[in-house]
Amino acid sequence: MKGIFVKTAYFLIIITALLGKINSPTALLLGFIFTLIFSNPFDSYSHRAIHYFLKISVIGLGFGMFVRETLQTSKEGIGLTASSIILTVSLGLLLTRLLKIDLKLGHLITSGTAICGGSAIAAISPAIKSKSKIISIALGIVFLLNSVALFIFPMIGHSLQLTQEQFGLWCAIAIHDTSSVVGAAIGYGDEALRIATTVKLSRTLWIIPLSAFSMFLFKSKGEKIRVPYFILLFIAAIIINSYHILPETTTGLFVLIAKRLLIATLFLVGSSISISDLKSSGIKPVLLAVALWIFISIFSLVYILN
């Protein structure tokens, strides 16, 4: 009886999110509280759902963007993107050795912080032949920091009176996972959302050279580099919207659905955070992740403001 109640409650929260009745931080918090009280009744399925729902949401958001503005935004953010990734990866390699953390765990945390959280970890882990427990710990730490970012970044942005353009760029650089980047930007404004999504996805393309570097670093042979193909569909959606191939009412509906699906995805993310995995890893990997996050947050904010 309890199992049926838990599963029903889980689905009701997802439906509430899809109906637009809760915002991004609330969805994430509800997921975390839910799994603390009841445990996730669909743990194995929710990780797979996050993977697909996030990509569908990002593609849907493309129907609200235009080619010219997107290219201009990507061009403006390329210098900050490149410098932040190179510096974060270099610092991560150094701190991993200084803190004497498992090299593969340290590299996955560094990669997730430098580029795009869970997507980078999922892409790079097979390239360095990581064990499932190491992957789980890295994902758990990154998801936890994403949860914190979703709450504190909008507050910091408002307190510093950042413009939507500044906040969108800062989110894209300093928040790990695409879901939390978009979740933080949604409440700040449509322009912040557009910039955050565009810069974050252009940043995602750095998975390719980082995967190649990771294979060289850990001397892995015969492993294929995973290319984020969904970005091509995101670009296609932007082109369709730019040339008005579909009616505005249709593209507007796609964007609305994408935003609500993303909020439901954040609930799934919250319900997938494993406290036991975080405890088993000890404090050092968390210290590494926090140190890298503070560095990239301050570095990118100073760069943007100046």
Three-state SS for the chain is: CHHHHHHHHHHHHHHHHHCCCCCHHHHHHHHHHHHHHCCCCCHHHHHHHHHHHHHHHHHHHHHHCCHHHHHHHHHHHHHHHHHHHHHHHHHHHHHHHHCCCCHHHHHHHHHHHHCCCHHHHHHHCCCCCCCHHHHHHHHHHHHHHHHHHHHHHHHHHHHCCCCHHHHHHHHHHHCCCHHHHHHHHHCCCHHHHHHHHHHHHHHHCCHHHHHHHHHHHCCCCCCCCCCCCHHHHHHHHHHHHHCCCCCHHHHHHHHHHHHHHHHHHHHHHHHCCCHHHHHHHCCHHHHHHHHHHHHHHHHHHHHHHC
Residue with token string 């990239």: 296
Closest CA to 140 of 215, 25, 254, 47: 47
How much is the pLDDT for 221? 60
Residue 21 in tokens:
């009745």
How much is the pLDDT for 227? 62
pLDDT class for 226, splitting at 50, 70, 90?
low
How much is the pLDDT for 270? 80
- Please name the residues in contact with 101: beta carbons below 8 A apart, sequence gap of 6 or more: 284, 285, 288
- How many domains does the chain fold into? 1
Closest CA to 116 of 86, 142, 154: 142
Give the Cα separation of 303 and 69 in Å (integer). Answer: 21
pLDDT class for 150, splitting at 50, 70, 90?
confident
Give the Cα separation of 234 and 248 in Å (integer). Answer: 17
Give the Cα separation of 238 and 32 in Å (integer). Answer: 33
pLDDT in tens, 286-303: 999 999 999 999 999 999
pLDDT class for 272, splitting at 50, 70, 90?
confident
Q: Averaged over 105-128, what is the pLDDT? A: 83
User: Is a pLDDT exceeding 70 seen at residue 88?
Assistant: yes
User: Is a pLDDT exceeding 80 seen at residue 152?
Assistant: yes
Percent of the chain clearing pLDDT 70 (strictly above): 94
Give the Cα separation of 272 and 44 in Å (integer). Answer: 9
How much is the pLDDT for 162? 94
User: Is a pLDDT exceeding 90 seen at residue 92?
Assistant: yes
User: Is a pLDDT exceeding 70 seen at residue 1?
Assistant: no
156 near 171, Cβ under 8 Å?
A: no
Q: Averaged over 98-123, what is the pLDDT? A: 87
E-state strands within 208-253: none
pLDDT in tens, 43-86: 878 878 877 887 888 788 889 888 887 777 667 678 888 899 99
pLDDT class for 240, splitting at 50, 70, 90?
very high
How much is the pLDDT for 224? 64
How much is the pLDDT for 79? 84
AA letter at 147: S
pLDDT in tens, 158-203: 999 999 999 999 999 999 888 788 888 988 988 998 899 888 878 8
Give the Cα separation of 198 and 172 in Å (integer). Answer: 8
Q: Averaged over 5-10, what is the pLDDT? A: 91
AA letter at 237: A
Give the Cα separation of 114 and 211 in Å (integer). Answer: 12
How much is the pLDDT for 259? 87
User: Is a pLDDT exceeding 90 seen at residue 231?
Assistant: no
User: Is a pLDDT exceeding 80 seen at residue 229?
Assistant: no
Give the Cα separation of 180 and 108 in Å (integer). Answer: 18
The whole domain housing 25 covers 2-305
Residue 158 in tokens:
């408002």
Percent of the chain clearing pLDDT 90 (strictly above): 36
- Tell me which DSSP letter residue 222 carries: S
Comparing 15-29, 99-113, 117-131, 171-185, which segment has the lowest mean pLDDT? 117-131
How much is the pLDDT for 86? 93
Question: Cα torsion at 129, 134, 137, 143 (round to 10°)?
Answer: -10
User: Is a pLDDT exceeding 80 seen at residue 133?
Assistant: no
pLDDT class for 41, splitting at 50, 70, 90?
confident
Residue 113 or 44, more confident: 113
